[in-house]
Structure 1
Amino acid sequence: MDFNLSDEQQMLRDGARRFVREQYDFEARRGLSRSEVGHSSTHWKTFAELGWLALGIPEDAGGLGCSFNETAILLEEFGRGLVLEPFVSTAVLCVRILDRCENADVRLQVLAEVTSGEAKLALAHDEPASRFEPGRAATSARAHGDGFVLNGTKMLVVDGPSADRYIVSATVDDDPAPSLFLVPNDVPGLTLGAYPLIDGGRAADLRFADVACPAAARLAGPQRATDILEEAFDAATVARIAEAIGAMEAAMAVTNEYIKTRVQFGQPIGKFQALQHRMAEMFIEVEKSRSSLFRALAHLDAETVTRKAAVSAAKVVVAAAGKFVGGQGIQLHGGMGMTEECSVGHYFKKLMAFDKLYGDSDWHLLRYAACNQ
């Protein structure tokens, strides 16, 4: 694997870094997090104009057909800026599902809308008893006439409040494996309860009460849906890992700058050897995380067992590193690190939320162990 960036990849990184620096400073981000929507529609249009939403979309669907390395590069910069727009939910998780679905017409139409910035999508899969399992769903889809009727409840639909459409997992008739359906946000019988997340993002609980959808809304049947979900969750996990590494590096930079300027006992506290050791340990954790990311990227398109093991190992390593780096950043800032006005606390919240997305550390440890039996 070549760890050096190509000229195009360097341009992508520079452009994303410039966007964060000029459009996404900490105070602007705080303002967006307190807004009703929780992000900027103007920024979303900018993502489309810059081609960022098309990175992972194949060329036959109007996208750029880039490798996942480009997505990871972009997400790392988004992590530095604590970007709130629903990029991973729409342009990674749901795009991967749509690209592999069995409904060719819907695939082309919706992917084109994502590329242009017209569509925002969210996956509605998690339920109170699902415990991160892709193949488990209690929501039901009963065949009715020329379509289906959905009933059930979905919880923690990340970026659900701003989504135009939802990809919903539901069992059809007596088949225990779920199928996937594309459901608009304004369909009769669908109710939404929105709430903020600890990291400033938004999520929602959805309730389906006799929600009717046509047969064409079915994206994948039970024979393929679970495999599609597993692969999409792994891709989204790798994207979030890259985002977490960017957040860790930014937290480390903020902390390093602070200990250089905070004077105590007549000198900057950064001169104290004990604090230098802590910064060195933070650096080691970030570099270890980056190595795990490279391994996961290298195996993202490998056979199923190899992919699962690599992604789960990276998730566990980076989640532990995030807790350490974020926690040390707050501690080295002292009491002010806990305040709303200090950015290091927001990075810590981002890293805490990361651990619970697409399977927590305990779940991934168990999956890793199962892959190596």
Structure 2
Amino acid sequence: MPYLLLASVVVGPLTGATDVFSDLGLQLASFACGLPLAALTAALSPLTRPMSVAVVRALCGVDPAELADGPPRTREARARTAAWFTLHLGAGGILSGMTLAVPPFALALIALPFVPALRDSDKLFPRTADHPWALALMPVAGLVMLVALAGCAAVASGLLARWAPALLGPSPADRLAQAEERAADLAVRNRLARELHDSVGHALSAVTLQASAARRVLDSDPDFVREALAAIEDTTRRTVGELDAVLGVLREAGDAAATAPAPTLADDLDGLLRRTRAGGTEVTARVDVDPAGLPPLVSREAYRIVQEALSNALRHAGTAVALRLARDGDALRIIAENPLPDDGAGPPRPGGGHGLRGIADRARLLGGTASAGPAPGAPGTWLLDVRLPLPSRKEPKIP
């Protein structure tokens, strides 16, 4: 109606008519002039597609996956949105006019044989009394008109529902944006899962081993027990802090999840080694690189890799682990060795573990490599070897 009224302001002066709505031809001309105005506003307004998609989802029974969300991103998508809006508005305007005019006229036809006042009106139904057969067919004609009106509405609804996915569906740019959004979300989820696995998994392994060692020497070595209990307290306190940070990120909206805090080699390598040794595990560490000089991202990921290497040693070996960190050309090299159990494999875990996969993922995201398995030339030894790229600097390679 707003577009029709606006167009009538133009059609009236152009045709010299003082009352546009008293002439059906001028009404149709105003209607035709209003459609381009509707298309123009639909193309310019970013809210047209979200509103139209909401209408289609509510009324047309279209699969939501076939419709795009948000404003159109490209000129082609805006053109399709304008086409849908104009088509919807045009069909709705025609059906609205028919709904206003047809039912009263059809009801009058149905009542014509039974209401003499209608038959006597020459303006409405002139000379119907002169044709009894026509009078008898009037109710049938009225019913046919009502059925035809319902049929027109059903056909228009079906056509609009069929055309909606083509005109309001996602464009290639929309699909690309959705894929990127899903990929970013999965990346954040995977990172948070790795953070929780490495942090909580290491803490549980360390605390279990420390508590077990303390229980065995409870009566014979009180100093060791006190040291183990202090390590348990320190480990759990740090892990609860990391867990709170990760869960806080999960509760936040937007892209804040990409900045989940995590310890680094410079912050806590010594503490990590100390807490691991407190459980009775012999940890031999050789650090030939300055942790404070590493890039923050590499330092953070390297810390988690070292943490997971120690966790695996605690779970599967529990006796000793040798760790080395050094610069190897343009990469940080992390090597961890520990003895295998007597059967040559770690104890079975229900559902399997994700630690080695997490190490490989962290190395790959930084452009590095990771390998793990029985050490070649050293039977009974498990070897983890990780390379993380660093800024170029000439140093001797690790033999």
Normalised to the residue count of structure 2, the TM-score between the two structures is: 0.27
Give the number of the structure whose alpha-carbon radius of gyration is greater: 2
| Between structures 1 and 2, the one with greater helix share | 2
| Between structures 1 and 2, the one with greater strand share | 1
Normalised to the residue count of structure 1, the TM-score between the two structures is: 0.29
Q: Which has the higher contact order (CA 8 A, sep 6+)?
A: 1
